[in-house]
A and B are shown apart, each in its own frame.
Chain A
């Protein structure tokens, strides 16, 4: 049987399959539909220092093989997470990774600091790529200097595994990846959503209250895959690949392109057990093609 365990910096995951922030709640929402402890890890909802109401409804538009969302990081803030959510999920037998967002360097740092104090949170994913908030969010993630600045500040105070989530809304994602690697990020995850637009032709109005939103789902997969492949040539730190993964074949593509692990996002909405099917499929693939360890797949694309 193939070894499925992989490492992201000092973090050891029992398998490379995790669920993406904002699409899997705090994990417990899915407990009725699957055994969430089989996952390599769960990236929980975007968390900010202060509570956020998010954007007004409508926040979602269906598109061809995907969807636009404009949730805008609705969450009850870091303290609420610590006191009311963390106690209920800390003893899950899988890694819980908190997706941290901010509107200023200080708020990223303060939120990360609070997460650093939580024993059972071994890593954070710094979201410098949310297209749905006016201040901060993606603003930091679209220039190498902006990305470097946030990561530098957070790295100083966050001793555990620091993953930085990159935006695809840039000319050259590898520049950003290199910049965050240089500041000491342990890994990068890519990609967040693409900025998009949907129009209700009958009303001649945008579908979303925010006009634009973030595109996710199978429709973005080829672009995400290309970005993972490019980033794999550019950095040495591990890559967590995501964007439209709906099947184990999709996941294996990301591993071959250079990812060490993957996240399943929007597909959870269509089939809540997608991630488990992906785990099984990857294992069967390794066995069939003679890979002793799933880590051998990373970057094993033949050219």
Chain B
């Protein structure tokens, strides 16, 4: 695919927009792509990156990248016109059980932290298009690290927390008052594992269905190597094909 735009966001983040001569295939929120990293000599394997958003009008795929090592640093160096080799779309995404009913729409909360907000934009947009009014709860260390807020606002109500209190409520997402003041019917979360585990703990205690998006390290990304397994109630399953999104009831996170 061809890079149409590379926008650096705060600090170590960037937004990469890609297009293709062909119409982009069907993609579903929560799915990911496997990026071949040709610009980093120390990187051997492809890297899994969530689908941040699909802009059908412009036939564009968006990726939100956090520089953490050589591969992600190399991705942020791609410029307009560069070619990037992707396998897509991979994995299974988020699910929604109830249909929206005009009188009493299910209340959906999408909780993201750090670069984990990436798949939630696409999911929020999808939900909005499907007639839901999603809520977002986005957490970061500081206000600068809250990414893509203006985009999230297009698709739902946005709440935030920051560890330094510079935006929204001070603290972690699981301490936000909205969790006490509103009753949600479904939670979706992606972010650092400790955050997702805290959200899952809350979901278990409040008996709210919850889906999490895991980030196990991968080799093939297509179910061939069995490297990415998560220990679930049904044994070891591949995160790349059975996930990355899992219902917390399937994981051994209860304790």
In the bound complex, do residue A63 and residue B44 qualify as a contact, i.e. CB atoms below 8 Å apart?
yes
In the bound complex, do residue B225 and residue A57 qualify as a contact, i.e. CB atoms below 8 Å apart?
no
Contact with A along B219-231 (1 / 0, CB 8 A): 1111111111111
Most central of A22, A32, A33, A74 by chain B CB within 10 Å = A74
Known contacts A57-B216, A69-B219, A269-B220; is-contact A62 B44 (Cβ 8 Å): yes
CB of A3 to closest CB in B, whole Å: 31
> With the chains together, A32 CA to B44 CA distance in Å?
22
Main DSSP-derived SS at the B contact region: loop
B216-250 residues with Cβ-Cβ distance < 8 A to A are 216-231, 235-236
Interface assignment of A80: CB less than 8 Å from any CB of chain B: no
Q: Which of B45, B46, B235 meets A53, CB within 8 Å? A: B235
Provide the residues of chain B in CB contact with A74, threshold 8 Å.
Answer: 226, 229, 236
Provide the residues of chain B in CB contact with A71, threshold 8 Å.
Answer: 225-227
Contact with A along B198-223 (1 / 0, CB 8 A): 00000000000000000011111111
Known contacts A58-B217, A60-B219, A272-B87; is-contact A67 B226 (Cβ 8 Å): no
Interface assignment of B42: CB less than 8 Å from any CB of chain A: yes
Provide the residues of chain B in CB contact with A58, threshold 8 Å.
Answer: 216-217
Number of interface residues of B (CB under 8 A): 25
Interface assignment of A168: CB less than 8 Å from any CB of chain B: no
Interface assignment of B36: CB less than 8 Å from any CB of chain A: yes
> With the chains together, A25 CA to B221 CA distance in Å?
12
> With the chains together, A69 CA to B222 CA distance in Å?
16
Interface assignment of A303: CB less than 8 Å from any CB of chain B: no
> With the chains together, A60 CA to B228 CA distance in Å?
8
In the bound complex, do residue B236 and residue A53 qualify as a contact, i.e. CB atoms below 8 Å apart?
yes
Provide the residues of chain A in CB contact with B221, threshold 8 Å.
Answer: 269
A residues apposed to B, CB below 8 Å: 22-25, 29-30, 32-33, 45, 53-54, 56-60, 62-67, 69, 71, 74, 217, 266, 268-272
4 tightest CB-CB pairs across the interface, nearest first? A60-B227, A25-B224, A269-B220, A29-B224
Beyond known contacts A57-B228, A71-B226: 11 more, CB 8 A cutoff: A29-B222, A32-B222, A53-B236, A58-B217, A62-B217, A65-B44, A67-B44, A67-B219, A71-B225, A269-B46, A269-B220
